Amino acid sequence: MDHQNDDLFKAFLQKTHVGLVLKKEELSFSIYEAGDNYLKITGLNREALIGKDIFDVEKDLFPSNILEVLERVLMYKSEAEISPFLLTPTDRSKSIYISIHISPVVDHQGGVEYLLYTVRDIDQEIRFANERANRNYFMELIEQAPVGMGILKGKELIIESANTRMLELWGKNKSVLNMPMAVALPELEGQPFLRLLQDVYTWGEAMVGNEAKAFILRNGKLETAYFNYAYQPIKDKKGHTTGIMMIATEVTPLVLVKQKLEESVSSFRSVVMNAHYSLLVLKGKDWIAEIANQRLLDLWNKKKEEVIGLPLLQILPELVGQPFLEYLKTVYETGEPYGQEEEVFYYNTANGIGKKYVSFFYDPMIDAEGRVYGVIVGAEDITARVESRHKVERAEEMLRIAIESANLGTWHYDPLSKRLTVSPRLKELFGYKSNEEMTYDTVITQVTEEYREVVQKAIQSSVIKGEHFDLEFSIKGHYDQQLRWMRATGRIYRDKEGFPVRFSGILLDITEHKQDEIRKNDFIAMVSHELKTPLTSLKAYVQLLSSKAKASGDIQATNSLSKADGQVNKMNNMIKSFLDLSRLEAGKINLEKQQFCLNELIAEVIEEITLTDRTHNISTGNSQEIMVFADREKIGQVINNLIGNAIKYSPQGKIVEVVCKEVNGETLVSVRDEGIGIPKDDIGLLFDRFYRVESRKFKTISGFGIGLYLSAEIIKRHDGQIWVESEEGKGSTFYFTLPHKDLIL
């Protein structure tokens, strides 16, 4: 190249954009010329470059492989390009991307001495491309992230982007993009999230939440869901928030599982701790007490620190020799649960050995390998229950022994089903074999005729009116046809509604007793009959003599004989009452009922008594005229007895008043005296057989104590009532009633 050309070339170079002109040196290349543009880019001046070897200039000014590329261009006389190259200027302010183009300058001889090294600023281009690539990558990353991600823009929180996962979490589709959050997810209204987002936007502070509960409309349903989330503000260069990056993962299943777990753990604890029976968890080979509730501590009479964490045998060494250890061992070995309703548990106390009854179960805890690693022990202190049952059993046993040794039969009768259940002894008494069934109807036919109606009536009044059933009657044995006397007592048992459900009681064989009684009564009857025989002739003689004395005008003899007759009558009456008693007890008093005028009978009785006793004034007050239907003789006997007593027990009093009248459809007879009265304690016993009031006052008063008993029996047979009202020292009033005629018929 000549000089003229050379200068021109250089000027051209400086003004154009060509970077450098490189000149081939022996081993390297030197910088022949540099363009203004290049100098501007690199921040170097011309002097620092011109004539310098390319390796002698600033480091990093050329790409590291520059020598190879230049040699190749030289050799092949072809062009080369290096792009992009990050050029760091000398002041290191800012690196820029450039593109380097190298082309050979071929002289006319075909040789190459100069190379054109041109550069172009491609910084903007490269950076933009990089950014786009990064952004795509980022978006892809976001899209594929297993978490929900999204970007909200602006104060209105417009959904700029949201990945598929986020849309799924929201239960929405892409249509929500570019909508404000509040419009896209209207269900968030009233929930805290919108406000949180606004706060993040306003304050520019990130916010993180864990397991936050949200109600999200998904598939048309408002679902409860739990999320972990992070809201990250996106800021511009000036630090102003322009949007929010949202990251969210749904943890609903996790939370639910956790909740369930918590629930089951807490319910297990509360089950264990608040259980109404003792619970204990034993673990490991040494049976370490891991959990024990208060009930168990109570059962063992131990403190918590004496139990928890300790091996069972250290807690209760007294278990050695008791069956529990064997059961536990078996459960450990077999993995089978074991339980027992009742077992005695002995435990040590400060005062010796205590005894409790327990019901218990052992449930093995089995690990994944099927090995027993622990046992849940449940136990209940049933001491009180067992002891009260023992008490009942003892009482029942005693009752059974009593019933058996008394040879009592027992019976239960269900009035509704008419089913009769009886004990073997009762079957025996009724003459049945023990395997035979007895029915109510056959029992009734076995009752002898004279008692059948009485028994049926008594059962009826027991069942209907709830009266106590207590009756003596005779029966004929089913096979042996033997007459046996029975005493049955019983009562009706009712349910809560008052319906009779069970009529039950006991039956006692009183045949022997009854036979004694019959013999006794027969004896009394015989005696009274025999006593009457001489009395008959005595009375006749007295009366014959009396009429003779009367005829001869012997007044003294007449009076004496009249008194003798009276005494015979008295004696006869005594004998008669004995006889009545025996007949009554044999059940052989038959009432001969007839219609008669009660006040006439009373007058007759008074007249008769007045014949022998003139000391008392017996009046009939304002009696009514009353017709009754009853046994005239028996009622007369009662009235006689009551007036007789009134006289007998009122030695000072003179007045006896007998009144009969109608009261409430019944006939009421009262006999009032002004005598010594009856002590309160005796009133209830007054109508009992042979009962006489024990008192010095009465010592001189004769009697057997059967008059009132007889009277009461007679009135009872008339379905009437008899009672007394009395005040000691002031007198007594005896009453009896007879039911209205229509009722007795």
Partner 1 sequence: MEKRILIVENDLEMEDIFKEIFSDNGEEVVFFYEETDDILELVEKHRPTIVILDYNLNGLNGGELCKLIKGSGKHKHIPVLLLSAFPKFIYSNENVGNNAFLEKPFDVDELKTVVEHIINGSPK
**Shortest distance (Å) from residue 637 CB to partner 1:** 10
What is the sign of the dihedral through the CA atoms of 271, 274, 278 and 281? positive
**Shortest distance (Å) from residue 527 CB to partner 1:** 11
Candidates 543, 560, 619, 733: give the one binding partner 1 (CB under 8 A): 543
CB closer to partner 1, 40 vs 548: 548
Residues 6+ apart with CB under 8 A from 60: 87, 88
Measured CA to CA, the distance from residue 628 to residue 662 in angstroms comes to 11
Interface residues for partner 1 in 18-57 (CB under 8 A)?
Answer: none
547 binding partner 1? (CB under 8 A): yes
356 binding partner 1? (CB under 8 A): no
**Shortest distance (Å) from residue 544 CB to partner 1:** 6
**Shortest distance (Å) from residue 633 CB to partner 1:** 8
**Shortest distance (Å) from residue 579 CB to partner 1:** 7
476 binding partner 1? (CB under 8 A): no
533 binding partner 1? (CB under 8 A): yes
Strands 655-663 and 617-619, by their bridges, are parallel
Which stretch in 13-21, 28-36, 108-116, 522-530 sits in contact with partner 1 by CB under 8 A?
Answer: 522-530
Measured CA to CA, the distance from residue 507 to residue 529 in angstroms comes to 35
SS3 of 418, please? Answer: coil
331 binding partner 1? (CB under 8 A): no
Measured CA to CA, the distance from residue 734 to residue 658 in angstroms comes to 10
538 binding partner 1? (CB under 8 A): yes
Which stretch in 220-228, 234-242, 355-363, 531-539 sits in contact with partner 1 by CB under 8 A?
Answer: 531-539
CB closer to partner 1, 590 vs 617: 590
**Shortest distance (Å) from residue 474 CB to partner 1:** 17
Q: How far is CA 597 from CA 353, 619, 632, 635, 665, in A?
A: 83, 17, 9, 11, 16
Measured CA to CA, the distance from residue 719 to residue 44 in angstroms comes to 151
Q: Which residues of 233-247 are buried (b: 16+ CB within 10 A; e: fewer)?
A: bbeeeeeebebbbbb
560 binding partner 1? (CB under 8 A): no
**Shortest distance (Å) from residue 563 CB to partner 1:** 16
Measured CA to CA, the distance from residue 405 to residue 104 in angstroms comes to 144
Candidates 528, 623, 650, 670: give the one binding partner 1 (CB under 8 A): 528
**Shortest distance (Å) from residue 736 CB to partner 1:** 20
449 binding partner 1? (CB under 8 A): no
**Shortest distance (Å) from residue 703 CB to partner 1:** 21
Residues forming beta bridges with residue 360, ordered by sequence position: 340, 379
Candidates 183, 313, 540, 743: give the one binding partner 1 (CB under 8 A): 540
What is the sign of the dihedral through the CA atoms of 73, 76, 77 and 83? negative
Measured CA to CA, the distance from residue 108 to residue 20 in angstroms comes to 21
Residue ranges of the alpha helices (H) in 250-382? Answer: 252-274, 294-300, 312-315, 323-334
164 binding partner 1? (CB under 8 A): no
Measured CA to CA, the distance from residue 618 to residue 605 in angstroms comes to 11
Candidates 389, 588, 680, 730: give the one binding partner 1 (CB under 8 A): 588
CB closer to partner 1, 252 vs 572: 572
**Shortest distance (Å) from residue 608 CB to partner 1:** 12
Residue 62 DSSP symbol: S
**Shortest distance (Å) from residue 634 CB to partner 1:** 9
Measured CA to CA, the distance from residue 528 to residue 575 in angstroms comes to 6
CB closer to partner 1, 634 vs 672: 634
Element (H, E) at 352: strand 352-366
**Shortest distance (Å) from residue 711 CB to partner 1:** 16
Angle at 687 between CA 686 and CA 689, to 5 degrees: 105
Which pair of structure tokens corresponds to residue 473? 């009657």
Site string for partner 1, 566-585 (x = CB under 8 A): --x---x---x--x---x--
589 binding partner 1? (CB under 8 A): yes
Which stretch in 89-97, 105-113, 375-383, 540-548 sits in contact with partner 1 by CB under 8 A?
Answer: 540-548
Candidates 105, 386, 463, 525: give the one binding partner 1 (CB under 8 A): 525
Which stretch in 223-231, 365-373, 525-533, 653-661 sits in contact with partner 1 by CB under 8 A?
Answer: 525-533
**Shortest distance (Å) from residue 539 CB to partner 1:** 4
Preceding omega of 84 cis (within 30 degrees of 0): yes
Candidates 203, 268, 523, 541: give the one binding partner 1 (CB under 8 A): 541
CB closer to partner 1, 558 vs 623: 558
523 binding partner 1? (CB under 8 A): no
Residue 654 DSSP symbol: -
The answer to whether 485 and 493 are in contact (CB under 8 A) is no
Measured CA to CA, the distance from residue 577 to residue 207 in angstroms comes to 116
Which stretch in 67-75, 467-475, 534-542, 594-602 sits in contact with partner 1 by CB under 8 A?
Answer: 534-542
Which stretch in 207-215, 282-290, 457-465, 536-544 sits in contact with partner 1 by CB under 8 A?
Answer: 536-544
702 binding partner 1? (CB under 8 A): no
**Shortest distance (Å) from residue 538 CB to partner 1:** 7
In degrees rounded to 5, what are phi and psi of residue 56? -95, -5
Residue 614 DSSP symbol: -
Which pair of structure tokens corresponds to residue 305? 């620190």
The answer to whether 324 and 338 are in contact (CB under 8 A) is no
For partner 1 (CB under 8 A), the number of binding residues is 26
CA 720 centroid distance within chain: 54
What is the sign of the dihedral through the CA atoms of 577, 578, 580 and 584? positive
The answer to whether 735 and 669 are in contact (CB under 8 A) is yes
Site string for partner 1, 605-644 (x = CB under 8 A): ----------------------------x-----------
CB closer to partner 1, 441 vs 633: 633
Element (H, E) at 570: helix 555-585
CA 582 centroid distance within chain: 63
Q: Which of 357, 360, 398 is nearest to 376 (CA)?
A: 360
Measured CA to CA, the distance from residue 547 to residue 553 in angstroms comes to 10
Candidates 11, 544, 611, 743: give the one binding partner 1 (CB under 8 A): 544
List residues binding partner 1 (CB under 8 A).
525, 528-529, 532-541, 543-544, 547, 568, 572, 576, 579, 583, 588-590, 592, 633
